[in-house]
Amino acid sequence: MAPDGTSAHGRGRLHPHDHDHRAHTHHHGPRWPRISQGGPQRAARRVAHRVAHFLTPHGHDSADKVDAAMETSREGMRALWLSFAVLGLTAAVQAVVVALSGSVALLGDTVHNGADALTALPLGIAFLLGRRAATRRYTYGYGRAEDLAGIVIVLTIAASSALAAYEAVDRLLHPRDIGHLWAVALAAVVGFAGNEWVARHRIRTGRRIGSAALVADGLHARTDGFTSLAVLLGAGGTALGLRAADPVVGLLITAAILVVLRDAAREVYRRLMDAVDPALVDAAETALRAVAGVRGLGQVRMRWIGHTLHAEAAIVVDPGLSVVRAHELAVAAEHALIHAVPRLTTATIHTDHLVAEGPDPHRLLAHHGHPR
């Protein structure tokens, strides 16, 4: 335990607190052996705390369940494998029709679907890396690998938009006849349906587990679905004798892909810049103020690492508290944060005390520009 009463469960520090982790897992670090600290009143408080803790519904898994962070990675991997299978089957069906019809537009859509299936590779690697334990060099673990995968996916969306634009312009300059229009139209519908299913599944899973990269990959699948619709509309226009219909619609779909690219890039950029929803900070501050014994708040900060949140907060307590009591308040504050903020797994709580008179306890840090 730090001299200032800091509670830093996620950083591997040791604590002698009596929080029962057998029935309530928060994925904290190791603890000191239980130490007896005084009298029947303290023992009674421990018993009352455990009874209240047992009766209060918290919605966490017990110790025999799989670790939540590991489970979210597995859920992400399942989403990737399902997406890979669906898009692989879609691309195979379209490839057969391309061979029969000679449709260049459908060929481009098939390439899109194949590329989208392959984006599962960087995400899969990121999820596997995210399971690795933290080291002395990577002290926060490898969760940031998801953000790097998000960059790869954004670049892939950009390449897809460039390919869609190139195909559309090329068809305007060099019109081509398309055979087996009914098969092309059917393959376009299959492409749209496959991509839309994958997009919904990836986006839903990504938001549930807090993975910006998986959400971005779902948006990418949606762009390929739009490309499939362009093939369908182009085939319809060709059937009506409008040879320019397919490339014109392709240019419009390219513009739609660029809008999706903007949204995906913004999502990944915010994650790389440690942006969080301000509502999460509001929820954290509300939870901390509700902890009995907390007299005020300092700075509250959060950041995403992979698909889990980490927090740092400063609380103000009475100056006459013992170190033991200050630590208890820090633990209670962390406990409140974990329950109030979804996807939060660790929190470092710094305890300040009210200063009525005398020197500022942070004076040694003043010339370092240390925020408080």
* pLDDT one-digit tens code per residue, 37-57: 444 444 444 444 443 333 333
The reply to whether 115 and 202 lie within a common domain is yes
Specify the higher pLDDT residue, 115 or 370: 115
Q: Could you write out the DSSP letters of every residue in 167-221?
A: HHHHHHHS----S-HHHHHHHHHHHHHHHHHHHHHHHHHHHHHT-HHHHHHHHHH
Tell me, yes or no, whether 1 lies in a domain.
no
Which CATH number belongs to the domain containing residue 253 in this structure?
Answer: 1.20.1510.10
Residue 49 sits in which domain range?
7-56+276-368
pLDDT class of 281 with cuts at 50, 70, 90: very high
> What order do you get walking across the sheet with 308-317 strand by strand?
7-8, 344-353, 308-317, 296-305
Specify the higher pLDDT residue, 127 or 88: 88
Percent of the chain at pLDDT exceeding 90: 20
Alpha helices in 104-180 (DSSP H): 104-118, 120-130, 145-173
Q: Of the residues 237, 254, 272, which one is the last residue of a structural domain?
A: 272
Inform me whether the pLDDT recorded for 341 exceeds 90. Answer: yes
If you average pLDDT over each of 1-10, 255-264, 290-299, which comes out highest? 290-299
CB distance 149 to 123 below 8 Å = yes
Residues 6+ apart with CB under 8 A from 302: 276, 280, 281, 284, 309, 310, 311, 312, 341, 344
Which CATH number belongs to the domain containing residue 322 in this structure?
Answer: 3.30.70.1350
The reply to whether 321 and 259 lie within a common domain is no
CB distance 324 to 299 below 8 Å = no
Q: What is the mean pLDDT of the chain?
A: 75
User: Can you give the pLDDT at residue 2?
Assistant: 43
Structural domains of the chain, count: 2
Rounded Cα–Cα distance for residues 278 and 264 (Å): 20
Rounded Cα–Cα distance for residues 7 and 79 (Å): 36
pLDDT tens profile 60-87? 332 332 345 455 667 777 888 888 888 8
| Element containing residue 308 per DSSP (H, E) | strand 308-317
User: Can you give the pLDDT at residue 240?
Assistant: 82
Burial degree of 38 (CB within 10 A; 0-12, 13-18, 19+): exposed
How large is the greatest C-alpha to C-alpha distance in the chain, in angstroms?
A: 92
Q: Of the residues 272, 297, 325, which one is the last residue of a structural domain?
A: 272
Cα distances (angstroms) measured from residue 129 to each of 61, 144, 271 = 23, 9, 18
User: Can you give the pLDDT at residue 245?
Assistant: 73
The reply to whether 145 and 194 lie within a common domain is yes
Specify the higher pLDDT residue, 249 or 268: 268
